[in-house]
A and B are shown apart, each in its own frame.
Chain A
């Protein structure tokens, strides 16, 4: 169901532009320190462990786990009205950094801390947070970064034509 109120589109900064450019290419990029090997997010010009400014954008594996999670019952932003109740999680990437995400293809009540997650990319103009196939239909090992087919249950949060897709760390590849 399309919402009349447009979903929020991220506004990149000078620091985060490469991250969002990576999302367009279906690459989840984080920063890696040349000096100490630390990975960090959100993007910034120096390593928060050693202050080195020598850094690379690297592709994260896309493997992650749930650090914590919540269910939104109150409407904070109009475009999410028909998604309530929806989940917002803090996920921890295999490389270390934590970030907000939605967990898709999973019922809210099935989410648990340390749940293994895998990166999926959205490909549709719809928000599908809070809907998912039943447990028996939940996909098993799905290859990383493989765009979902149209009309398939997908991880998309928002994609504006060929502009920006929002990365979603989602989909348990193992069940409890």
Chain B
């Protein structure tokens, strides 16, 4: 059975996003995100019978995380799990919710996340699994993306200014979004080029923000969604692709194409749509280089042409492929990609005011994650096609 349009997103919610928000826990953010999404759908918590949450990755054992979130919400659930695919997780959770609803396990699933960067109950510590990276001074998410960027520059001539074009486009959009962390802070290409190196060839403005916050979306059957408060936004297609492509010489992206192509092909086949049918995109943009790679992987341009593609405002509102219209991880906030789904839904409902993409009927939304600093370094692509 093709699950196209069998389910819809009926509600979305985000908390305030900020660099530092002392006094609110990860659970606190998660619960507020759920409340906002459930109320946006015009539902009560008792209408929800499933819950998926981004698994916490901060140190310490977190047994039963999802069930605890459900318990804090006062929900008794038929379908509950903590999911972990890094930045691919929110899109993957929406896919899983759709599958569970189609399997008859439940009818309405809230997919949520919450993140406090400086939790008072978790002392700073290193995760295990760094034996093949940390001794060389390698740590955290940025360096592996810098390795990918360097290779892309070598193979295809991609430039730092092209990376900057991505950052500048999304910053423009953030300045139309009062909930964005970078609202009221414009950025020029020159600002980008003058920003300091973090891990060369990535500059500070090539990297996403650090964000305390939470968010959620409510997935329900298309049948139920028809009678809910908002115009339903249907889940038309999806796909995933996971691999260690960059570290596997027999599977070199430069030769065989990005693994993520499969995640897009599957989604477009399911939805019966082509790239040309997409009105607005929300690309997982933990780093500027990812957007360039995703454009290539997902077939919006050819392999190696992502750099030139992002020039001349093509990703900006009014451009050929308006993308990350709320500012993205680069300028709205790091929400693990949950805000990408929220913004996709709002665009298709036509609620975005100044930053509304004209006549948006279809949205392409992506997640991108993995374990880049734990061996073997892996990458995960995930896609969603939504339509109104």
Residues of A within 8 A of B (CB): 7-13, 16, 20, 42, 49, 67-74, 76-77, 80, 83, 85-86, 88, 90, 92, 96-102, 113, 129, 157-158, 166
Which residues of chain B in 124-150 are interfacial with respect to chain A, using CB atoms and an 8 Å cutoff?
A: 128, 130-140, 142-143, 146-148, 150
Contact of A11 among B128, B138, B249, B250 (CB under 8 A): B128
Knowing A11-B128, A11-B131 are in contact, say whether A92-B147 is a contact too (CB < 8 A): no
Q: What is the bound-complex CA distance between A69 and B375, given in angstroms?
A: 17
Kindly provide the distance from the CB of A48 to the nearest chain B CB, expressed in whole angstroms: 8
Kindly provide the distance from the CB of A13 to the nearest chain B CB, expressed in whole angstroms: 7
Q: What is the bound-complex CA distance between A49 and B249, given in angstroms?
A: 12
Contact of B135 among A73, A90, A166 (CB under 8 A): A166
Q: What is the bound-complex CA distance between A49 and B128, given in angstroms?
A: 26
Q: What is the bound-complex CA distance between A80 and B138, given in angstroms?
A: 10
Contact of A73 among B131, B133, B151, B196 (CB under 8 A): B196
Interface segment, one of B197-205, B276-284, B355-363: B197-205
Knowing A69-B150, A72-B143, A90-B247 are in contact, say whether A101-B136 is a contact too (CB < 8 A): yes
Kindly provide the distance from the CB of A50 to the nearest chain B CB, expressed in whole angstroms: 12
Q: What is the bound-complex CA distance between A94 and B163, given in angstroms?
A: 32
Contact of B134 with A8 in the complex, beta carbons under 8 Å: yes
Knowing A70-B200, A73-B196 are in contact, say whether A16-B131 is a contact too (CB < 8 A): yes
Question: Can you name the residue of chain A whose Cβ is closest to the Cβ of B150?
Answer: A68
Contact of B134 with A85 in the complex, beta carbons under 8 Å: no
Contact of A70 with B135 in the complex, beta carbons under 8 Å: no
Contact of B137 among A88, A97, A98, A99 (CB under 8 A): A88
Encoded as 1 (CB less than 8 Å from any A CB) or 0, chain B from 173 to 208 comes to 000000000000000000000001111110000000
Contact of A74 with B199 in the complex, beta carbons under 8 Å: yes
User: Which of A9, A76, A157 has the most B CB atoms < 10 Å from its CB?
Assistant: A76
Knowing A42-B376, A70-B201, A90-B147 are in contact, say whether A77-B137 is a contact too (CB < 8 A): yes
User: Which of A16, A70, A72, A86 has the most B CB atoms < 10 Å from its CB?
Assistant: A70
Q: Which residues of chain A have C-beta atoms less than 8 A from B130's C-beta?
A: 8
Contact of A85 with B200 in the complex, beta carbons under 8 Å: yes
Q: Which residues of chain A have C-beta atoms less than 8 A from B137's C-beta?
A: 72, 76-77, 80, 83, 86, 88, 102, 129
Q: Which residues of chain A have C-beta atoms less than 8 A from B249's C-beta?
A: 92, 96-98
Closest 9 CB pairs of A and B: A71-B200, A10-B131, A73-B197, A76-B139, A70-B146, A68-B147, A68-B151, A42-B375, A80-B137
Q: What is the bound-complex CA distance between A158 and B131, given in angstroms?
A: 13
Q: Which residues of chain B have C-beta atoms less than 8 A from A72's C-beta?
A: 137-138, 143, 199-200
Contact of B150 with A113 in the complex, beta carbons under 8 Å: yes
Kindly provide the distance from the CB of A146 to the nearest chain B CB, expressed in whole angstroms: 21
Q: Which residues of chain A have C-beta atoms less than 8 A from B248's C-beta?
A: 98
Question: Can you name the residue of chain B whose Cβ is closest to the Cβ of A101?
Answer: B136
Q: What is the bound-complex CA distance between A70 and B139, given in angstroms?
A: 12
Q: Does B63 sit at the interface, judged by CB under 8 A? A: no
Could you jot down 24 A-B contacts, CB within 8 Å? A8-B130, A8-B134, A8-B135, A16-B132, A42-B132, A42-B376, A69-B150, A70-B146, A72-B138, A72-B199, A76-B137, A85-B200, A86-B137, A88-B136, A88-B143, A97-B249, A98-B248, A98-B249, A113-B151, A113-B154, A157-B135, A157-B136, A158-B135, A166-B136
Tally the A-B contacts, defined by beta carbons under 8 Å: 97
Q: What is the bound-complex CA distance between A52 and B90, given in angstroms?
A: 35
Question: Can you name the residue of chain B whose Cβ is closest to the Cβ of A90?
Answer: B147
Contact of A88 with B151 in the complex, beta carbons under 8 Å: no
Question: Can you name the residue of chain B whose Cβ is closest to the Cβ of A95?
Answer: B249
Q: Which residues of chain A have C-beta atoms less than 8 A from B200's C-beta?
A: 70-73, 85
Question: Can you name the residue of chain A whose Cβ is closest to the Cβ of B152?
Answer: A68
Kindly provide the distance from the CB of B59 to the nearest chain A CB, expressed in whole angstroms: 15
Question: Can you name the residue of chain B whose Cβ is closest to the Cβ of A96?
Answer: B249
Q: Which residues of chain B have C-beta atoms less than 8 A from A11's C-beta?
A: 128, 131
Contact of B140 among A16, A70, A76, A157 (CB under 8 A): A76
Q: What is the bound-complex CA distance between A166 and B138, given in angstroms?
A: 14
Contact of B150 with A70 in the complex, beta carbons under 8 Å: yes
Q: Which residues of chain B have C-beta atoms less than 8 A from A113's C-beta?
A: 150-151, 154
Contact of B135 with A13 in the complex, beta carbons under 8 Å: no
Kindly provide the distance from the CB of A93 to the nearest chain B CB, expressed in whole angstroms: 9
6 other A-B residue contacts (CB within 8 Å) besides A70-B199, A90-B246, A129-B136:
A8-B135, A68-B150, A70-B201, A74-B198, A77-B139, A129-B137
Q: What is the bound-complex CA distance between A42 and B130, given in angstroms?
A: 12
Q: What is the bound-complex CA distance between A68 and B142, given in angstroms?
A: 14
Question: Can you name the residue of chain B whose Cβ is closest to the Cβ of A84?
Answer: B137
Q: Which residues of chain A have C-beta atoms less than 8 A from B196's C-beta?
A: 73
Contact of A71 with B151 in the complex, beta carbons under 8 Å: no
Question: Can you name the residue of chain B whose Cβ is closest to the Cβ of A167?
Answer: B135
Question: Can you name the residue of chain A whose Cβ is closest to the Cβ of B147?
Answer: A68
Contact of A73 with B132 in the complex, beta carbons under 8 Å: no
Kindly provide the distance from the CB of A112 to the nearest chain B CB, expressed in whole angstroms: 8
Contact of B147 among A10, A69, A158 (CB under 8 A): A69
User: Which of A68, A69, A96, A166 has the most B CB atoms < 10 Å from its CB?
Assistant: A68
Kindly provide the distance from the CB of A143 to the nearest chain B CB, expressed in whole angstroms: 24
Q: What is the bound-complex CA distance between A129 and B135, given in angstroms?
A: 11
